[in-house]
Amino acid sequence: MGLQTVRAAIAQQPGGENVTLVAVSKQQPDERIRDVLSQGQRVFGENRVQEGAARWTGLRPAYPDLQLHLIGPLQSNKVDDAVALFDVIETVDREKLVVVLAAEMKKKNRFLPCFIQVNTGEEPQKGGVAPGDFAALLQTARAAGLNITGLMCIPPADDLPDMHFALLHKLAKVHGLSHLSMGMSGDYETAIAYGATHVRVGSAIFGDRV
Ligand SMILES: *Cc1c(COP(=O)(O)O)cnc(C)c1O
């Protein structure tokens, strides 16, 4: 466990040198974040806009090369704060959000790269567009001027992740998207084998959330 262990495990995978490690800092104590910052980690993921803002607004000036990814569900009324804070939005998953995000990015003149979240397991409680509705949403997002560069998924907890990673990989390939955010503490090595370019790892770096 720990940042160096995770980095070494990624580096050992074929293609691992091209993988971006997104350190998931949600619900972690500040001293653990500072420790990882001191080891040079600069890409972090947060799943809540408010929590992310509370943590990072103060730290940001000291780390100008910080890159913050939003990896949790985004409500329309938080889009203003999200566009101000984050550098990548990984969880675009519905038409209404596309419209509100596109308008906010124009307003702020801040055109962030976005990933579309695909609900590969079609779980009702989970965010993400159903695989069957994905192509239409991508078209809508592109037409609205969003810069969609990749896809993201969170496989069902009790499935083997392989078929979900394979599906996401295929969708990205068919639609010419170069980024694939998949794999967490338990399965990031598998995800890299399926072509992940971004892995989102929390507890394997920081320890259990508090
Ligand atoms: C919390 C979270 C992670 C990290 O989970 P770990 O199992 O701690 O690595 C990754 N992705 C998303 C979307 C999350 O919410």
Q: What is the pLDDT of residues 8-32, one digit of tens each?
A: 999 999 999 999 999 999 999 999 9
The answer to whether the beta carbons of residues 116 and 92 sit under 8 Å apart is yes
Q: Where are the domains of the chain?
A: 3-72+81-204
The answer to whether the beta carbons of residues 187 and 179 sit under 8 Å apart is no
Polymer length of the chain = 210
Rg (the chain; Cα; Å): 16
Contact residues of ligand 1, CB 6 A cut-off: 24, 26, 47, 71-72, 154, 184-185, 200-204
Using CA atoms, how far apart are residues 128 and 119, in angstroms rounded to an integer?
Answer: 4
Averaged pLDDT, 30-42: 97
CA-based nearest residue to 114, from 66, 57, 179: 179
- Judged against a pLDDT cut of 90, whether residue 88 lies above it is answered with yes
Question: Is the CA virtual torsion 117, 160, 185, 174 positive or negative?
Answer: negative
pLDDT for residue 1: 83
- Judged against a pLDDT cut of 90, whether residue 162 lies above it is answered with yes
Ligand 1 atom having least distance to the Cα of 47: 15
If you classify domain 3-72+81-204 with CATH, what class do you get?
alpha beta
* Reported pTM: 0.98
Question: At which residue do the structure tokens 């890159």 appear?
Answer: 67
